[in-house]
Structure 1
Amino acid sequence: MSGTQLSWDDAEDEVALLAPTERMTNWRAFLAPLAANREVVVKDPEMVKLAADVVAVFAEHAALSGLTRAQLRELLGPSGRGWPEAVVESRLGLLIDMSFLEPYVLKAHQDRYVMRPAGLAGAIAAERLSLHGGVDELIGLLDRTRDLLRREDPDPDEALKALRTCRHGLMVFALDLQRQVATATPAELVLTQRRHDHTDFDGQVIQLNELVTRAFSGRMVLEDAAAALLEAAQIYRQELLAAVRKVLEQGGSSLNLDVLSSGEYLHLARTAGLNRLGHFGELLIADAPLPWWDGQAVVDTAASYTPARAEKGRPVPPTPRPGTPSDPFSALEDADVVERKRRRILMDDLIDDSEGADVTATLEERGWPGAARLLVDILDCHADPALPYWVDIAVPVRVDSTASVTYLHQVTVRQDLPTGEGENAG
């Protein structure tokens, strides 16, 4: 149902149209006894309004011989009632096929049409279904039954059938209310209660019982039917009260102000006492005004909640062990002197007081990884400018799968003699 509520100036409640989906469902149910397939109802409920405009056009503009299709297109189109031309053409074709509009003269190729009264009844029924969902039909049924019983000599068979039909209608609405109480939300129940609020089923059923007693006193079948109708009205009334209780309980606990319309709230404000109005005020929640904060206050507050961090100082130097030099670089220099001395002794052993020596066999004898460590020491001596040694590694590779060092180059170590020493030695 539309969520539109009354403005504060409205004195009485208005009944809004049902939601489009609910209108479509009601119309499908309404046409189900006559339907040939499921898609008999239009998919857009707004299209149904065009039928009401057709009724208005015929009432205001029709001549004695009806209206032509061109006149209908003009009166309903953009320059008339505002419908798009394509929609008017499509709907007129359907209304003619469905005998809502029929030719003025039942001859072929007639272009003047009049409206069938049954179509008017359908348009009025569709409007009633849009407002109250079928409740008005039950009211009309009760009215017709009351008129039947008021006759001077009512037919007992017709009266019994009408009483049972009224009971069936009340039970259908009572069962529908029972389902909605179990499954619907408070807002949906409020809309349902408003659709039923204009009914006086209890009073009408009581009148029917009095009429049955007056017209058919002593006929147990009719009196039982009237009593069953009264029982159905009581069941209907109980379910309607259950819907109201659920609305009050859940709507009040959730502080849902959509439970009542704006007009009802206005009426309550004008007529209720302070005690009742104060009761509603106790359940309302109001937000306190926000405190004023300037930028500096925000910075100061954030700083006051920032955890203090301990400043990290330089680590305490370790206590030197006895005999350890105070300067670490001097220890590195001493270690370098010792390492250079070790390498000089190694190279002197390899050369054995000669100018050079082939150490390939020595590498092969030491195996792996001893050969790798010896080769690294030899290369370090070659790269150290403070040591008078150099290395010559031949390009060809010796491959011996049975040796401990499978791949091996010929490595020659030589000693650089001071300038002129070689000539004197020669």
Structure 2
Amino acid sequence: MPETNHEITLDSALTEEAVLATYRRMFAALARDSGAVVDDPALVDIAETLFAAFAEAGEEWLTHEQMRHVCRAYPLDQFENRLRVLKGLGAVREVFPKPNQLRYRASFTSVVGLMFIRRMMDDGGQSEMHRLLALEDLNVADPRTTMEEARVSAQNLSRAFRLWALELITLLAGTIEELREQAPKLWGTEEIARRAQSLHGTILTRWPDLDRTCTELRAAIYAYSDASRRAAGRLADSAGTTRNLTLLPAETWRTFAQTAGKERLAAVLDGFVFDAPAPWHDPAAIVRAVDESPRPAPAQPTPPRSALPDSGPADTYDAATGGLDHLAAVAEAALGGRSSAPVEELLAAGGEWVSARRLLADLVAADLRPDAPYRLRWSDGLTADPGAEPAWLSHGRLERTGGDT
């Protein structure tokens, strides 16, 4: 028995080490050393140059001298440091593990990891989400896929969409500059939501027992769609009437002028010719004239105003009492003298969905009031009927708990 436990421990250690080795090779191109990420884009360029050279070399592989030759445009110390890190993390390894090995090969995992990272840098994960949805759509349509595998797939997608929606909501509350930098995350959101809803429909059609999981997925998709539309609206409003997203505020240019080097500043004005100021102009006067020059004020959108009549501020106690009386009247009318009534029956009696939705809102408000003697008891059941209105219906009962009405 002790030997068996020892073997299980060794197997677990080997499995964990294999996972960690894969992670190391995936992100070796971004590592500055064995425990940190690069802070210079040129270091990533060295890794890409080496991987391209390994691909062209084929079965001949590369020696240390050949690797240095293809990276000759970079300083020697920078190249040696990158090669040491890539070797240490397994991105570049010896062809055969034997003494005095002179030829090296590149790890396939590292190349794929760098390709994935480049795509993430280009569009913030949009293309990866499209690929993930396409693969998941094929998986759930496969007859060999089990219900548990579909459940895990739906839960993973729900988690991804909720985190994505939270990130967009955070951008909405942040500065417009940060939102502009993350603008690629708003590209193709309608297509992503459409494909996700199609995947949701496939899962629910094949496995109706996954209705609760599909409800969470649908809520996450709607939250992502709403957050993306709001972020895109704010981004469009900030661009002005021209809707030109390349127009940057003065703060961005001021930050660029304070942080950029001489070469980057000169590149911005490359191709422009300026007349030198007259020698009798005081530099301070020129600066003051530029600061005092009129600047067009950006158009401020008018805040939305409700079309409903406003009776003005009311007394807090009277408003609360009137609200409770209204909710009690609605609940008593729905119960019709009974102590409890099914919610689906009340919604069906309301006729059109707009009236039923208003009734449901009042019943929920009465349920949330601790001083109201009415409660909604919901069950785990969920009825799906695409031809009905509403198409999704949760089962529950409205109950009178006792007390004065």
TM-score (norm 1): 0.47
Task: Calculate the TM-score normalised by the size of structure 2.
Answer: 0.50
Question: Which structure would you say has the larger RCO, counting Cα contacts within 8 Å and 6 or more residues apart?
Answer: 1
| Structure of larger gyration radius | 1
